Structure 1
Amino acid sequence: MGRAKFFRQKLISHVDSVAVKTVYSWLLHQTRERFGVAAGEAGLVAQKGYLLLTRSLVKRSEEQIVFPALAGREVHRKRSAQELPRREVVLTPWSHDDLEVYREFGLKALQNARLARLIEEAYWQDASLSTSMLCFLTNITAKSIRERLISLWEEGIRLPVAGVAKKYRQGRVFRATAAMEQFFAGVKPATVRERLWLSPTTWQQYQMDYLHVAQLTRAGLDASTIGRQLGLHPDLVIEFQELEQRTGGATQLADSLPGRLLNGCPLPLAVDDARNLFLAELQSQHGFSPAKAHSYLALL
């Protein structure tokens, strides 16, 4: 018998050594060891806690920066960049998700995932990034960025960059909507994640967000109220609602981990505060006691 061969060992070791230093890794460890949550469910709980931390509890986490982007989401007229108004936005040039994507799909997938995340984050904050700004943030050449974005636009992905041609702006959907649409069409989750450079954690979060939107829509809430309650942009909520009307896809998620957690545990409709919603989710979906849920929130 020959010696066992391990492929990509140096890359995996590098990823592991960096991952243990992240806030998400620490939070995941606390969720499993201190609060006794099962391994599969702990990732979803830790992701919810991390999103609450970065979206509501602090203005900017250690992994984020404040960047002067172009004000407005529809900055497409050809004008000098110096003449355009600016808006400071919080961007995440590096995330723990990058390590998972890098480990599974390689360097180019990591770069593409980072590029898409920066564009989407600016859009959520009513701003736009130009190609030169993306070059500065990602250390990728303008030619390479244009080639990557054009291939995505042609596949129907909505990544609004300042100055993009009109033919690439219409009839597109965000990555989250595209991922769910492909899954409902019968594409395997592993293939969906590889096509759109999604980590397992992000894929689970997309499923949970979709199920929440479907549930709150059936309860009669409008897109702006749903977005405010879930921390999602109204445009993404509307895309989810339209997809649910066409496919009824929420039933296909019943056997997924988010679907099993949400089954029979609806969100409280009157909650409009991110902290109270997080506490309600911990108790109704993950079996936390009120004291244990408040202890987890204090940990954040």
Structure 2
Amino acid sequence: MGRHKEYRQRLKYQVASAKKKTLGYQLAVKLNSELGMSETESRLLAHRLSRWVLLRPDIRGPNQIIVEASAGCDHFVRKWREGKRIRLTPYDMEDIDLELEFGLTTMQTGRLLRLIEQAHQQDALLSAK
């Protein structure tokens, strides 16, 4: 009768490949191989460590960039040229899950909303230019 067709096979392969390149996965492999932790323990600890690294204000994580943005709520139109350096995460693990479940358009929309939210949390406004 033929082979059973698997839909979105390429996308599943790309998602699995991207997950193996994340900070959390790399930490889990190191904890498992070097410290001899179980797989579940190493994944839990790696998840917490990667979140801790990304939330530290003095450390730029591996998937974060520093962008020049306009200073936020305290400044008015006359002072729009005053800049502020903020950290943004253009690529996150939830993007992979969104793309796998809902598709590319939803993933891109979620990514854009996350960037706007991160800028707002750091009291900055992103420029459209």
**TM-score bracket for this pair, using the shorter chain length:** 0.7 to 0.9
5+ residue gaps, structure 1, are 134-300
Query: Counterpart of 1:122?
Result: 119
| Match for residue 105 of structure 2 among 100, 108, 121 | 108
1: distance between equivalents of 2:6 and 2:87?
Answer: 40
Q: Are 1:102 and 1:109, in contact at CA under 8 Å, matched by a contact in 2?
A: yes
1:63-109 deviation per Cα after TM superposition (whole angstroms, max 9, x unaligned) = 1111111112366x6x47x8432110011112233222212221112
Query: Counterpart of 2:85?
Result: 88
Count residues with an aligned counterpart.
127
2: distance between equivalents of 1:113 and 1:11?
Answer: 18
Query: Counterpart of 1:5?
Result: 5
Instruction: Give, as a single letter, the amino acid of the residue that structure 2 aligns with 1:112.
Output: T
Structure (1/2) with the larger helix percentage:
1
2: distance between equivalents of 1:115 and 1:43?
Answer: 28
Q: Which has the higher contact order (CA 8 A, sep 6+)?
A: 2
1: distance between equivalents of 2:98 and 2:31?
Answer: 22
C-alpha distance 119-42 of structure 1, shift in aligned 2 (>3 A): farther
1:35-72 deviation per Cα after TM superposition (whole angstroms, max 9, x unaligned) = 2152xx76543322111112228521221111111112
* Partner SS for 1:17: helix
Tell me the CA shift for residue 8 of structure 1: 0.3
Query: Counterpart of 1:36?
Result: 38
Instruction: Give, as a single letter, the amino acid of the residue that structure 1 aligns with 2:37.
Output: F
C-alpha distance 110-48 of structure 1, shift in aligned 2 (>3 A): same
After the TM superposition, which residues 22-33 of structure 1 pair with which residues of structure 2 at under 5 Å, given as runs?
22-31=22-31
1: distance between equivalents of 2:43 and 2:121?
Answer: 24
Query: Counterpart of 1:53?
Result: 53
After the TM superposition, which residues 1-300 of structure 1 pair with which residues of structure 2 at under 5 Å, given as runs?
1-31=1-31, 34-38=36-40, 43-56=43-56, 59-73=59-73, 79=77, 83-130=80-127, 132=128
Q: TM-score, normalised by structure 2?
A: 0.79
* Partner SS for 1:61: coil
Q: Are 1:74 and 1:128, in contact at CA under 8 Å, matched by a contact in 2?
A: no
Say what the alpha-carbon RMSD is for the aligned residues: 2.7
Q: Are 1:24 and 1:96, in contact at CA under 8 Å, matched by a contact in 2?
A: no
Q: Are 2:95 and 2:107, in contact at CA under 8 Å, matched by a contact in 1?
A: yes
1:150-195 deviation per Cα after TM superposition (whole angstroms, max 9, x unaligned) = xxxxxxxxxxxxxxxxxxxxxxxxxxxxxxxxxxxxxxxxxxxxxx
1: distance between equivalents of 2:119 and 2:55?
Answer: 14
Q: Percent identity?
A: 33
Structure (1/2) with the larger strand percentage:
2
